[in-house]
Structure 1
Amino acid sequence: MGYAQVNGVRLYYEVSGSGRPLVLLHGGFGSTESFAALRPALLARRRLVAVDLPGHGRTADADRPLRYETMADDVAALVGQLDLGETDLLGYSLGGAVALRLAIQHPRLLRRLVLVSTPFRRRGWYPAVLAAMAAQDERTGERMRGTPAHETYARIAPRPQDWPRLWARSGELMRREYDWSAEVAALTVPTLLVFADADSIPVGHAAEFFGLLGGGHRDGGWDGADRPASRLAVLPGLTHYDILDAPALPAAVLPFLTHPVREPT
């Protein structure tokens, strides 16, 4: 574990295991601890590099706006500093948006991409979820004191008093419109999309996302020869809030990372 100085940010990361690297990016208000349930299964096959995104966990807030694009540049710089080479990347929710931007902005760094509970446009979230995101501010952060996320933040953050500020800055980020459909359609990195069947993102958006990646347009063929390079998994009986802890998640992720996938032509 340690820190890397990248783009004016002292970015915290942890490395464990051996083999091909897999970078893990947590969701909003989370940290490397968010992957506790997922780590054991992944460690059997991968060297894990878990990162605390700016303002989260052990990485202090930076004196700049919170943006998916700049955080993607930060993680890309970390991959370069650690000399990871062509790597695999898994991001969840907020971390998924950062991972998607990294794939768009730095495609040569990635071998495979896994996005968990991540939309490609802001309005991919359910309207009620968008409204809750838009309302996030310092007062919301104060109301969230005492939650498991706050207790972890208070224990590990370099400035625990920044908890309300994180909520305000996250709210400002989540109010910004974005639609990355054209850039997603141009991606060539094999991508696994994973959603819960009761996610904060409609299953219809998941299908549209998969379609942009070349999936869902034709029968895969009896021998699978016409399958797309990317894949879609909708995990049953789960939500946006418990999908990271579900055994079904590594069961979906590991075959994608370890088995041959037809590369795009």
Structure 2
Amino acid sequence: MTLDRPFATQHETLWSQIADRAHVLEFPEIAGTRTRVLRVGEENAGRGTILMLAGTTGHLEAFTHNIRALSEHYRVLAYDYPGHGYSTLAEGSLEIKDYADHLLALVDHYGLEKPHLCGESLGGWIALKVVPEHPEVFGSVILSAPGGRMIPPAKLNGTQSVSADAVAQPTWENVKRRLGVVIHDEAAISDELVAVRQAIYAQPGFVASAKAIAALRTPEVRERNAVDDSDYARQPLPTLLVWTDNEPSGSPEVGAHLAELLPRGRFVLAEGAAHWPQWERPDVFNTAVLDFLESLEA
């Protein structure tokens, strides 16, 4: 029997989508960070693991509309970075090496064999940097509107201002406005997503953690961590790049150009989305990921 769903997919909660699936939410200590990790689809571990990496100031709920579909075929492991979500908050500054070292420790902690990295925004940035240095560790790369390129300061500062307001005063309106930076259609921003992020931003210590996260937005730090065309050209593994028609950092032509640089790349354009194709177009995203991974098994 097919249920009649009177609301858009984007408004389904994470719980409503995985409540009938065996799953584990845990907080192991990984590289000195108490790390929030969600595991779903352990019965499919033999086919491989999809390791999901969210964006800047993000959290595992960014993949709410992907976890079930992907975990029906593979084991899915989603987690919160250091300084993010409900993992240990941070002080000082966080750079790509910090995230990459934690990622490698997480892979070792769970004994993962060649997991498929699925990174959106900051997650894609991390993947683009860590995979060429450790190609033997991973199986493939899935990039969802990856970040990390140098972009005009005015555009970066505008985004940073909205983010800073949401962290300093995590009202419903400010947090929803922050999510509007990455989601094209305001109607696709669910109450659950706003509520979860509002609670995360309201944690004691998150203001300092947000400053540590924002280090990558300062010009000098961003420049030494930045992604350029050479990072795409040196990717050794099969790579799927999912771009959108409203991506803030560049047009569909920019995405197609980056995909052409990938030695073993595949390109998918998700229309009607901005910086979160996995959220706004889960139908396109989930199908593209499963087709890509299945092609590697053929």
* Range of TM-score over shorter length: 0.7 to 0.9
Residue equivalent to 1:142: 168
Contact kept in structure 2, 1:213 and 1:230, CA below 8 Å: yes
**Residue 237 in structure 1 maps to residue 280 in structure 2:** no
Q: 1:41 pairs with 69, 80, 103, which one?
A: 69
Q: 2:115 pairs with 87, 96, 121, which one?
A: 87
Inter-partner Cα distance in structure 2 for 1:201 and 1:63: 28
> What's the Cα RMSD here?
2.6
Contact kept in structure 1, 2:124 and 2:144, CA below 8 Å: yes
Residue equivalent to 2:196: 152
Call closer, same or farther: CA 1:104–1:163 in 2, change over 3 Å: same
Q: 2:255 pairs with 202, 206, 211, which one?
A: 206
Identity of aligned residues (%): 25
Q: 1:164 pairs with 194, 207, 227, which one?
A: 207
Inter-partner Cα distance in structure 2 for 1:258 and 1:200: 30
Secondary structure class of the residue paired with 2:132:
helix
TM-score relative to the length of structure 1: 0.81
Task: Using the TM superposition, name which of 165-174 and 196-205 deviates more.
Answer: 165-174
Shift of 1:134: 4.8
Shift of 1:182: 2.6
Task: Name stretches of at least 5 consecutive residues in structure 2 with no aligned partner.
Answer: 1-24, 177-192
What is the CA deviation profile of residues 89-144 of structure 1, one whole-angstrom value per residue up to 9, with x for unaligned ones? Answer: 10111222122222133221111100101145223xx6653232454675552244
Inter-partner Cα distance in structure 2 for 1:152 and 1:69: 27
Contact kept in structure 2, 1:133 and 1:171, CA below 8 Å: no
Contact kept in structure 2, 1:210 and 1:231, CA below 8 Å: yes
Inter-partner Cα distance in structure 2 for 1:120 and 1:232: 18
**Residue 131 in structure 1 maps to residue 131 in structure 2:** no
Contact kept in structure 1, 2:142 and 2:241, CA below 8 Å: yes
**Residue 101 in structure 1 maps to residue 129 in structure 2:** yes
* More helix per residue: 2
Task: Name stretches of at least 5 consecutive residues in structure 1 with no aligned partner.
Answer: 215-228
* More strand per residue: 1
Secondary structure class of the residue paired with 2:205:
helix
Contact kept in structure 2, 1:119 and 1:206, CA below 8 Å: no
Call closer, same or farther: CA 1:60–1:172 in 2, change over 3 Å: same
Contact kept in structure 2, 1:138 and 1:165, CA below 8 Å: no
**Residue 13 in structure 1 maps to residue 41 in structure 2:** no
Inter-partner Cα distance in structure 2 for 1:243 and 1:196: 10
Residue equivalent to 1:220: none
Matching residue's letter, 2:27:
Y
